[in-house]
Amino acid sequence: MPIYCSGDIIGVNDASGRTSWAAGQPIPKGVWTEVLDSGLQSTTYSQAVSVGELYSAIVLVFHNDDNVIYDAAVWLASGDHASASIVQVGRVYDTDRLDDLSISCSSGVKTITFGMDATSGSRLNAYIMRNQ
Amino acid sequence: MAIYVSGDIVPVHDTSGVTAWAAGNNMQKGVWTNVLDFGPTSDGSTSISQTVNTGEWYNCQIIIVHNDDNVYHEVEWWIASGDNASATASQISRTGDVSRINNPTFSISSAVKTITFSASSTSNGSSLRAYMLRLQ
């Protein structure tokens, strides 16, 4: 099979199939990237994640407790070099588990704070698809 | 231009542009995959029910489209999560004729999820399509 390239080939997935990305770096565009996996938590949880430079994105957040979805939310984010805003598109299930996202911005780099209420076995996973 | 590869290069699309995947195998992460393309019905049946082994995964997005005689009647967006023994799906939104598509149901064995997609089919020409984007 020939491969024709007009630009660089950038490997976006690691060996496990997840998008390769490290906090603080820009997220590859057009692919869903896991930006937070809280691990198992038992008390209130909050984590700020530097998601790099982005100007628009879709953010999907899952709250899972003992392997059952308790809350899930979809957000849209947008911003410039100095500011950013984020709005919820939809939310389902036990709507009091996930906290609203908060976002701060410095030189285009967005830092998003994810938080949740947690009982034993709770986990928070967040994914971003950067558009721009 | 040099190409440096640290892993396998896996083509995800077939020649038609659909993600290459066969039922019973694990889905690739991060790409939308057509897991069900059923119909159009031609026998006048009043319902559609199809079970699909979607492989091992732990959370995903699901889009389900019901089409009847080339008119879309319903589209739904779901998210799903689970572990080795259970799974749950929650609907994010729905548009169209909201009585056509039934809620997807799951059976699980060792993290492998089998989903049953179903819908009402009021006339010949109904089809049901399901797409999944596996995240984890």
Residue with tokens 């019901």: B66
Class of residue B53 by CB neighbours under 10 A (exposed 0-12, middle 13-18, buried 19+): middle
Domains along the sequence of chain B with CATH: 32-134 (2.60.40.1680)
A10 touches chain B (CB under 8 A): no
Q: What percent of chain B has pLDDT over 70?
A: 90
Burial (CB count within 10 angstroms: exposed 0-12, middle 13-18, buried 19+), residue A107 = exposed
> Is A106 inside any structural domain?
yes
A1-50 per-position pLDDT tens digit: 555 656 666 666 676 767 778 999 999 888 899 999 999 999 999 999 99
Chain centroid offset of residue A70 CA: 18
pLDDT score, position B2: 54
Q: pLDDT category, A119, cuts 50, 70, 90?
A: confident
Q: Average pLDDT, stretch A106-132?
A: 94
User: Quick check: A34 and B135 CB within 8 A?
Assistant: yes
Task: Give B8's contacts (C-beta < 8 A, 6+ positions apart).
Answer: none
- The answer to whether A130 and A35 have CB atoms below 8 angstroms apart is no
A125 and B135 within 8 Å at the Cβ level: the answer is yes
Mean pLDDT, range B57-69, rounded to an integer: 92
Q: Per the domain annotation, does A12 fall within a domain?
A: no
Is A120 a domain residue? Answer: yes
pTM (2 d.p.):
0.85
Boundaries of domain holding A95? 32-130
Place A74 in a pLDDT band, splitting at 50, 70 and 90.
very high
Residue scoring higher pLDDT (A6 or A61): A61
User: Percent of chain B beyond pLDDT 90?
Assistant: 58
Assess if residue A8 is contained within a domain: no
Cα B85 to Cα B78, B105, B112, B133: the distances in Å are 20, 14, 9, 20
Local confidence band at B40 (pLDDT 50, 70, 90 cut-offs):
confident
- Average pLDDT score over residue span A64-84: 93
**Opening angle at CA A72, ends A71 and A73, nearest 5:** 130
Q: Are B25 and A30 in contact (CB under 8 A)?
A: no
Q: Is residue A57 part of a domain?
A: yes
Q: Does B3 touch chain A (CB under 8 A)?
A: yes
Of A8, A17, A62, the CB nearest to B59: A62
Q: Are B97 and B105 in contact (CB under 8 A)?
A: no
Helix (H, G, I), strand (E, B) or coil at A73: strand
Chain B residues 10-39 within an 8 A CB cutoff of chain A: 11, 28-30
Q: State the CATH number of the domain containing residue A65.
A: 2.60.40.1680
Of the candidates A69, A62, A59, A70, the residue with the CA atom closest to the CA atom of residue A111: A59
Q: How high is the pLDDT of residue B128?
A: 93
Mutation test of the interface with chain A: which of B15, B79, B93, B108, choosing the one with the most A Cβ atoms within 10 A?
B79
- How many domains does chain A divide into? 1
Considering the domain boundaries, does residue A27 fall inside one? no
Give the closest of A12, A17, A74 to B92, CB-based: A74
Domain membership flag for residue A101: yes
Taking all residues of chain B, what is their mean pLDDT, rounded to a whole number? 87
Q: Read off the tokens for A46.
A: 């909050």
Mean pLDDT across chain A, nearest whole number? 89
The answer for A 37-66 residues in CB contact with B (under 8 A) is 60, 62, 64
